[in-house]
Amino acid sequence: MPPYERLLIPMPPVTQLVRSPDRGGPVQPLLSVRNLVKHFPVRDGFLARTKRAVHAVDDVSFDVAKGETLGIVGESGCGKSTTARLIARLMLPDSGGLLFDGDGVDEFGGMSLQEYRRNLQMVFQDSFASLNPRMTMEDTISFGPREHGVGRQQARTRARALLDRVGLRPAQFAQRYPHELSGGQRQRVNIARALALEPRLLILDEAVAALDKSVQAQVLNLLQELKTEQGLTYIFISHDLHVVQYLCDRVMVMYLGQVVEVGPVAQIYSAARHPYTRALLSAVPSMDPARRTSKPPLSGDPPNPINPPSGCRFRDRCPHAEAVCASAAPLLHGQGNAAHLAACHMTMAGSGHSAAPALEIHV
């Protein structure tokens, strides 16, 4: 409805937020991330021209299918959280865009930012910093719906129901302040707040990383339950590969602001194609003492993101690096499997790397 008509017709009071219906069908990705780029300029000194920039996210594209859990893994500083904040539009990208269920986000003819944000919510790592210390749990959860026009009483009732759903007794917790709760309880409240707007997509940015293992398991189970119950889609950002394996359907591996490998969780964990992914997985501690890690899977620190290496960004830590890796940047490719992509010259036919398969030329 055009805005001027909205002014003519009195809007009925909103009593409850309803989850937006599916539009594109199951095949259309819920979220398509297209060529996101974010560089942070570095100031060299007073009045200096800013020429150098931290390449936090460099040309990242991926799709999130409806109903799946996509895990994003990588070392600290690889751009996982920046990607999350770019998707949430808490930060504007230098270039690149988002499509939500086929609609361009925050662009002409597309979906408004307010509408988009109602469909997408985020749970942050720091459960304490993500709750207002001066607001009760009930007020925190009902803030979003109230801003969307839900009446005070409805919003309160809903907040209490949500508290109950995430396993906190409303009579006991509704009037509490954040410092009166434990970390796990606070993270449950954060989840309840995210659900209050009836989103379709939830970004979990290291949401369980700060919790101890037993509480972590409870919260992960809660997330699983909520997902099946409400048909949610998750983007799960983590550096804990065990948790990712448990929770996710697909995994995306990032290194220095770029996607190096993406594929179904089973294929990534059993047959990783990128040397970085293999190094990352071999660093996972094993429960079996006979299979303890004896040599470090990877040496050195990630290179400085201000001046990333030319060609493949992993090459100066990669045991298989050759001349071609310095001269050309590998592209994500599938080797005949469109679901499992990796960006490495070793698997790309005809790349010039000695380990690469021969280029099949069909005459």
Pairing type for strands 103-104 and 120-123 reads: unpaired
**Minimum distance between the CB of residue 202 and other proteins, rounded to whole angstroms?**
11
Would you say 199 or 275 has its CB closer to other proteins? Answer: 199
Dihedral in degrees, nearest 10, Cα atoms 33, 250, 20, 16:
-120
Query: Per CB under 8 A, which of residues 180..209 are in contact with other proteins?
Result: 190, 193, 197
Query: Per CB under 8 A, which of residues 104..123 are in contact with other proteins?
Result: 113-114, 117-118, 120-122
Asked if residue 286 lies in contact with residue 104, where contact means CB atoms within 8 angstroms, the answer is: no
**Minimum distance between the CB of residue 347 and other proteins, rounded to whole angstroms?**
38
- Tokens, residue 313: 């960004």
- Helix residue ranges, H only, the chain: 3-8, 80-87, 113-119, 137-147, 152-165, 170-173, 183-195, 213-230, 241-247, 265-270, 275-282, 323-327
Would you say 212 or 225 has its CB closer to other proteins? Answer: 225
According to DSSP, residue 113 is labeled: H
Q: Tokens 């189970």 identify what position?
A: 221
Would you say 124 or 276 has its CB closer to other proteins? Answer: 124
Q: Of these, 38, 80, 158, 274, which contacts other proteins (CB under 8 A)?
A: 158
Would you say 130 or 351 has its CB closer to other proteins? Answer: 130
Q: Cα separation of 302 and 315, whole Å?
A: 10
Strand partners, 55: 39
Q: Does 269 sit near other proteins (CB under 8 A)?
A: no
**Piece of the chain touching other proteins by CB under 8 A; list 32-40, 156-164, 246-254, 292-300:** 156-164
Binding site for other proteins (CB under 8 A): 15-16, 88, 90, 113-114, 117-118, 120-122, 124, 126, 129-136, 140, 143-144, 147-148, 153-154, 157-158, 160-162, 164-165, 169-171, 174-175, 177, 179, 190, 193, 197
